[in-house]
Chain A
Amino acid sequence: MTSLKRPQGSDQLSQNISNKVYVRSTRSGKVQKIVREVYLRTDIPCSSNLCRACLSQAPRNAVNQALPFVLSARPAGTKSYPQGHYLVPDTNALLNAMDLFEQSSSFYDVIILQTVLEELKNRSLPLYNRLVGLTKSEDKRFYVFFNEFRLETYVNREANETVNDRNDRAVRQAVKWYGEHLALTKAARVPAVVMLSDDRENLRKAREQGLQASSLADYVSELEDGDRLLDMIAESQLQAQGGFKPSTQPLYPEYYTSSRMMTGVKAGLLHQGIFNVSPYNYLEGSIKVPAFPKPLLILGRENINRSIDGDVVVVELLPQDQWKSPSTKIIEEDTITKNENADTEERQDFISDKERKALQEEVKRTQKATGENQLQPTAKVVGVVKRNWRQYVGHIDPSTASKAPSQGRRLDSVFLIPMDKKIPKIRLRTRQVSELLGKRLLVTVDSWDRDSRHPVGHLVRSLGELETKAAATEALLLEWDVQYRPFPKTVLDCLPKEGHDWRVPESKEDPGWRDREDLRDLLICSIDPPGCQDIDDALHARLLPNGNYEVGVHIADVSHFVKPANAMDTEASIRGTTVYLVDKRIDMLPMLLGTDLCSLKPYVERFAFTVIWELDENADIVNVRFTKSVIKSREAFSYEQAQLRIDDASQQDDLTKGMRMLLMLSKKLKKKRMDAGALSLSSPEIKVHMESESSDPIDVKTKELLDTNSLVEEFMLFANVSVAAKIYEAFPQTAILRRHAAPPKTNFDELADQLRIKRGLELRTDSSKALADSLDKCVDPKEPFFNTLVRIMATRCMMSAEYFCSGTQAYPEFRHYGLASEIYTHFTSPIRRYADLLAHRQLAAAIGYEAVHPSVRSRGRLEAVCKNINVRHRNAQMAGRASIAYYVGQALKGKVAEEEAFVMKIFSNGFVVLVPRFGIEGLIRLRDLAEPEPESEYDAETYTLTTKGERSVRVELFQKVVVRVHDDKDERTGKRGVKMELVSA
């Protein structure tokens, strides 16, 4: 019998074939034995420009060209490697110090092994993407060497060898091969091949084998600006070298094993969700889980157990006798842990006395508290499924920096206070404290071990002086993860060649005219905020002979310029939306398109996507059609100009008449919408006036709303609804829609209770109509702003609207709660929102204008896009708000204003007020009222806070107070912010 097995090593070719056998566990719980055959080759080049041998046999493409070699023939040298060197980092080195590799001062000629690249991909996708970006950049000379496919560098996993050990061995094997291979070139100066690793065992073994190996720290310290670079190495590695004093006992409970968590979550014993920290109390977090209507509370450092805002965690419910109601006290990390020393870690310090006291009072209050219904289930974190750590912006707490003048380059431990209050202090070690003090810094968190009270991180870079506009803007863009780098060349290559000279083709034979309607004779105009450059939409209306109205909404035809799945499309889908800051706009699409070719500027012909309705006298739809078109806008109005023109009775031209028709119809549409139960919600909208020259803000105004604002808004909503219905009809599974889920009733519990007790008003939440009606009734005759205040508070109880792919939800779930529309999408702003661009493509396919592109049809891809743009959309809003807050602060600089304010939220040791004029909220603590802090009594039943002693005031919810607003620089943190003081209650 001849064996059926593949003979080992008997014939010439067999050594080119190897097997990998491993066990794969799939997500669905299947366990499979996987056998992979590996075909090894000898023609994978080393890519060093020194090497002739590889060049002659490197694989060639169809035009018989080999890829150009990457690694320099004369790489830079260091003290230890004067002959020049190539770097071969292992996975840990990249995980710990990716920022180093992105430096432009050093780290050139790096060999990235395939083993390392794949391992990195499994460990951290963001880092992997950054590395891939690096390997693509030509000047950094990063070369990906496919060592797993090269005969000499392939290693088989040995018995009882862990994957890590095997990979480390593969790295060493590759380093060894490179060394021997380069020696064969007989060059005058053969560069050293240096393995960079943070793994001591790996370093030791490498040295044993006679390879050049160095730890990151050793290597970096020899570089020119070593001290600066050393700060970029992740803390974990330094710790291994005896960085922080390790505390004797672990401070935090250990996490469960992942299998235990999975089992628990599946069985419903544990719950998984995203961890959110309360913005007022850093020791209180909440997590929303499907099993409970109310979010679970997580109280105290031990229960929070090293989770950071945004992490996906698994929690275990605490027994019912430990259930609490959410805190009514403001607890801020900087005040409580003010005097901590970043160097010492003492056990008794784990829950500091102050923290304990704060919690104690909490418990006392709870026990006094009334009904069971107030209590919320509490839980503790037992494990983290996924860390969502990003890079954080913050500044060094100067009080933790050593007072003594820094002698030379001492390694100091300092605390970094993140800008985001929900993020705990981050400990970092640096040699350049004196330079970093008073700067905005970007840091990453490396780890949070059981025995460390605070997470440890390392510096990425400095953004500049605190309080400079550039640093502030960049900080908030980074905080909200807004992609603000200039568009890469690949994206710009997708723009039309003609640039700004692009015109609508004259000849109607041109392919651009195919299936386009010529609407250039219509009297179309656009109405936008003053100074708007990216004009998405334009309108027209005219009376038809049959007495009905024809109304057209014309949207910039962005999909004509942005073809699916090219570089520009990919970039736009990643950016998701244009971000508007007070003085800056971060575009989703390159300027050329956004402000010129797509923008429906007046007096020029532009491609558009048009929705045309025939409406009767009651603004009911008789007929609707969609078409690609060519239009010529007659005028671009600002809201104010449009309003003046409509109101000016002397204007009797057709354009103005059209606008009046639009206004009349829009009012009817609005009425219908309101009758259906649409909510008119409020969030304070602020406008910052800038002095043009210096772009320093000079005044803050609340935005004024005109009839023309609502004119445009109504027709945009109208168009969106019509388009949504059409694309859903054409693509029942894959239409991109927008939904706004009805908020759970419990969300309104607190507000309803507050209104009932304080004002005797009833808030009905059974439907959006009931809510809208009851909100209308929430008026205080003496106080016109009260209604707005309630609306602002109601808005915060709502769910946020989201994009989704129609196949993922049932039809009743499509409903847009706020707009009271059965179906909704975004269609009208394709220049600044990616969702609209998708809707355009789908609509174009639905009317048979173009074929359906696969990317518009694949549900998986669309779901991923939706997920991304939902996040981007939210971040853009947040960044915009943060920018306004910053400028409000700047506008107030050096001024003191006494303003009316309203109490929005009450704690037992302070309260939050909203200043309508500036649209800002401020926290007033009792200890700010008088010195020493007045005694206080807080009645949670009636939401009243009464103080006695030094200063006696009585503050109630919804009360109007007068506050003094001024800007203030916290001496300790060097942070400038708006500060409010109570003048009179």
Chain B
Amino acid sequence: MAQQTLLSPAELAYLHSSLSLSPPIRPDGRTSKQFRPLTAETGILPGTNGSARVCLADGTEAIVGVKAEIEKTADPLGDDGERYREGEWLEMTVEIPGLRDDDAGTVFLAELLREALLADGELAKKLWINRRFHWRLYLDILLISPPLSYPLPLLSLTTHLALLATRLPRLKSEGDEDPMFDDDWEAAPFLYPRQGGAAAAGSRPSITLLVVAVGDSILFDPSKEELAVADSALAVSLCEVRRERGQSSMEVDSGRELRLVAMRTIDPPSRLTPPGVPSTANLAASGTADVPLQQKQQQTSDEVPQEGVWKAPLGGTPFAVLDSIIQAVLEKGGVADEVLDGLEGVDLA
């Protein structure tokens, strides 16, 4: 998912150095842990079991629809392969304008989201009806604006909301009978119930946050430009587990426990940016040609990074950076809490 940013090496170097400051100075003035403002609503597609729409302030917008279909469990008696197959109970398609649906980036994105959703193994349990039947979920994720920045957080948050808004018809039959359902949609329970004591406990659909490291700074929800200078980019998936209210009534917090479920590094587009040329070596600037061309090129590649000259980042993410990212994500009252609190406020219609 390399979007070419039309920044010159000098601009890149400038951006990089201002982001590396402590505290970093972000082009849009946000603090390092601040999300871009977003607006969200659910239940926009009446024909689906659950749907959501999220708009980011930069104008990117995504819609997710969830449809559920009943399916016969292929081999109800086999207990071994169960886990493996349950992974297939969730089908996901991601559509990004201007990209083919078999584009490597799109497929990777879909897999990233799917993996995070299934990682805690809770979703499959919710889809289980009885030993012979289960629900199959179809998640259709649509980015409806041009991809201005890497859309992962947007799509993840929209998916999260859509799943929260998803309801499955209420089961009337018992045991291993062919399932029969209540015809009243109003009676259909939520896939992830929000209210009601024990029912509301348990895990929530995971969210995936995009975090970049620039120098020593850790930046959440990077914009397109910030991504273009990132030393490393990480997709951190975490899910919220609700404890039963009764247990934690003394505690002040909302009974939320965060769990890290997956983490993937993402190739930041910064790796493909052209390197800057120091003005000392710049013929056009100095006007003298005292060094032969070949020699000069060799020189630049060997050279230790010069302050103010852009050079595409190389190599992996240092462990210390990884560690501080995880800390920042899971921290109480940290970014994840802030995001989840924000999503909590969305009315589930």
What CA separation (Å) do A260 and B175 show in the bound complex? 9
- Are B41 and A21 in contact, with the CB atoms below 8 A? no
- List residues of chain A with CB within 8 A of the CB of B41: 1, 3-5
Select one of B49, B180, B187 contacting A259, CB under 8 A: B180
Contact A163 B349, CB 8 Å, known A21-B46, A33-B49, A263-B177: no
A895 at the interface (CB under 8 A from B): no
A680 at the interface (CB under 8 A from B): no
B101 at the interface (CB under 8 A from A): no
Select one of B48, B53, B177 contacting A4, CB under 8 A: B53
Select one of A19, A23, A259 contacting B182, CB under 8 A: A23
Give the segment of A24-32, A222-230, A733-741 that binds chain B: A24-32
CB-based nearest A residue for B68: A31
B28 at the interface (CB under 8 A from A): no
CB-defined A-B contacts under 8 Å, sample of 8? A5-B43, A19-B46, A21-B185, A30-B69, A31-B70, A259-B173, A260-B177, A263-B176
B158, chain A: closest CB distance, angstroms? 13
B129, chain A: closest CB distance, angstroms? 10
B181 at the interface (CB under 8 A from A): yes
- Are A159 and B179 in contact, with the CB atoms below 8 A? no
- List residues of chain B with CB within 8 A of the CB of A31: 68-70, 169, 179, 181
B323 at the interface (CB under 8 A from A): no
Q: 7 tightest A-B contacts by CB? A: A259-B173, A1-B39, A263-B177, A259-B180, A35-B46, A23-B169, A21-B185
- List residues of chain B with CB within 8 A of the CB of A65: none
- Are B172 and A23 in contact, with the CB atoms below 8 A? no
- List residues of chain B with CB within 8 A of the CB of A260: 173, 177
Q: Which of B280-311 contact A (CB under 8 A)?
A: none
- Are B184 and A23 in contact, with the CB atoms below 8 A? yes
CB-based nearest A residue for B182: A23
Contact A22 B47, CB 8 Å, known A1-B55, A259-B179, A263-B176: no
- List residues of chain A with CB within 8 A of the CB of B182: 23
Q: Which positions in A face B, CB cutoff 8 Å? A: 1, 3-5, 19, 21-25, 29-31, 33, 35, 157-163, 257-260, 262-263, 266
B10 at the interface (CB under 8 A from A): no
Question: DSSP class of B's interface residues: helix, strand, loop or mixed?
Answer: loop
Contact A266 B185, CB 8 Å, known A19-B46, A33-B48: no
Select one of A24, A33, A161, A259 contacting B177, CB under 8 A: A259
- List residues of chain A with CB within 8 A of the CB of B44: 3-5
B176, chain A: closest CB distance, angstroms? 7
What CA separation (Å) do A263 and B133 show in the bound complex? 12
A163, chain B: closest CB distance, angstroms? 7
Q: Which of B156-207 contact A (CB under 8 A)?
A: 169, 172-173, 176-188
Select one of A19, A29, A163, A266 contacting B183, CB under 8 A: A163
- Are B178 and A263 in contact, with the CB atoms below 8 A? yes
- List residues of chain A with CB within 8 A of the CB of B47: 33, 35
CB-based nearest A residue for B176: A263
- List residues of chain B with CB within 8 A of the CB of A258: 180
A476, chain B: closest CB distance, angstroms? 42
- List residues of chain B with CB within 8 A of the CB of A29: 70, 178
What CA separation (Å) do A33 and B41 show in the bound complex? 20
CB-based nearest B residue for A266: B178
- List residues of chain A with CB within 8 A of the CB of B39: 1
Contact A163 B48, CB 8 Å, known A31-B70, A259-B179: no
B59, chain A: closest CB distance, angstroms? 10
Q: Which of B41, B48, B172, B177 has the most CB of A within 10 A?
A: B177
- List residues of chain B with CB within 8 A of the CB of A33: 47-49, 169, 185
B121, chain A: closest CB distance, angstroms? 24
- Are A23 and B183 in contact, with the CB atoms below 8 A? yes
- List residues of chain B with CB within 8 A of the CB of A159: 186
What 1/0 flags go to B83-96 for Cβ under 8 Å of A?
00000000000000
- List residues of chain A with CB within 8 A of the CB of B172: 259
CB-based nearest A residue for B50: A33
- Are A22 and B179 in contact, with the CB atoms below 8 A? no
A759, chain B: closest CB distance, angstroms? 53
- List residues of chain B with CB within 8 A of the CB of A22: 183-185
A24, chain B: closest CB distance, angstroms? 7
Q: Which of B298-329 contact A (CB under 8 A)?
A: none
- Are A262 and B181 in contact, with the CB atoms below 8 A? no
What CA separation (Å) do A158 and B44 show in the bound complex? 21
What CA separation (Å) do A266 and B55 show in the bound complex? 48
